[in-house]
Amino acid sequence: MRPPFPAFGHTVGRALDECRAAVVDFRRAPTEPRPKDNVFGGVEPVCDLDLRLQSLLSAAARDRWPDLPVVAEEERSALEPTPDRCLLIDPLDGTAPFLEGRDSYAIGVCLVDGGRPVASVLDLPAYRVRLTAAAGTLHVDGDVDALPWFGPRCVLTGPRHVGRVRVALARHRLEGYEVRPVPTAGVKLALVALARAGAAVLPPRAGVAAPWDHAPGAVAVAAAGGRFCTAADADGTTVRPAVLDAWLATAAGADPPRRLGRLLSPPPTRKAGT
């Protein structure tokens, strides 16, 4: 049986309290990061805190639900299909901005059951805000006003993608939007779920996102009445979490998702010699 939603939120929440304490300890006595090969064949930083948080969350899950597989980011050399039932863990989403001393990092945990994400906890330790979500239910702990506010006509994207999104808005004649950079998927999705921004996007041909990057936030956005969709226009909470090469999240009450969905259209391919 899948863990019931209240038990899931309580168990993960207690482990996340320990994670917040570990973040404070690391800030007081940081260790040097080191490079690691990620599941996409690239290189990114990892620090002892990534491993500590993953250990805390994995141990809590295995103690409470010993038969539930755990799929966690660190020490994973390849990306396999997400099991029908599992717990996805992103111990430190935004390691690079965290190491730079910035607040844009998150800890995400998502319960997958029947091949789809059904519940999640998304924690923003720097802001002391935590979102616990399941279908139709979003519980928020902390002061939401501590978070940045961008407004309903703002589209969030990664710092390297701002120009690309602005070009796409102009190409599709989507006027009146501003584009702002936020480096971490979990933080972008939390801001959309809480209507602190109108939308967030990973534009086509701009990179890829692992399942644990987007699944916790996708559940939170949907629970708040918004929508998380893939490039195939699939509702991200009704399909198996997988690698995505583009996604779009829209807040409840924002412009119709199909209007902003044009941002998921691939840019035209340049012909040879042009």
3-state secondary structure 81-94: CCCCCEEEEEEEEC
Q: pTM score, two decimals? A: 0.93
Q: 């950079």: which residue's tokens?
A: 181
Q: Contact 185/220 with Cβ under 8 angstroms? A: no
Q: Is 232 exposed, middle or buried (0-12, 13-18, 19+ CB in 10 A)?
A: exposed
pLDDT above 90: residue 259 = no
Q: Say whether pLDDT at 1 is over 80.
A: no
Query: pLDDT-based confidence at 274, cuts 50/70/90?
Result: very low
How many other CB atoms sit within 10 Å of the CB of residue 174? Answer: 16
Structure tokens at 60: 């809590």
Which structure tokens are listed for 222?
A: 């949907």
CA distance 174 to 140: 32
CA triple 120-189-115, angle to 5 deg: 40
For residue range 228-246, list pLDDT tens digits in order.
999 988 899 999 999 999 9
Q: How far apart are CA 126 and CA 73, in angstroms?
A: 21
pLDDT bucket at 8, cuts 50 / 70 / 90: confident
- Comparing 108-112, 132-136, 156-160, which segment has the lowest mean pLDDT? 132-136
Q: What is the pLDDT of residues 188-230, one digit of tens each?
A: 999 999 999 999 999 998 889 999 999 999 999 999 999 999 9
In the chain, what percentage of residues exceed pLDDT 70?
A: 93
Once rounded to an integer, what is the mean pLDDT over residues 101-119? 96
Residues 202 and 178: their CA atoms lie apart, in Å, by 15
| Vertex 150 angle, CA 177 and 190, to 5° | 115
pLDDT at 193: 97
Residue 245: CB atoms within 10 Å: 16
Bridge pairing between strands 86-93 and 70-72: parallel
**Is 70 exceeded by the pLDDT of residue 262?**
yes
Structural element, H or E, at residue 113? strand 106-113
**pLDDT category of residue 40 using cuts at 50, 70 and 90:** confident
CA angle at 52 for the pair 189 and 200, rounded to the nearest 5°: 10
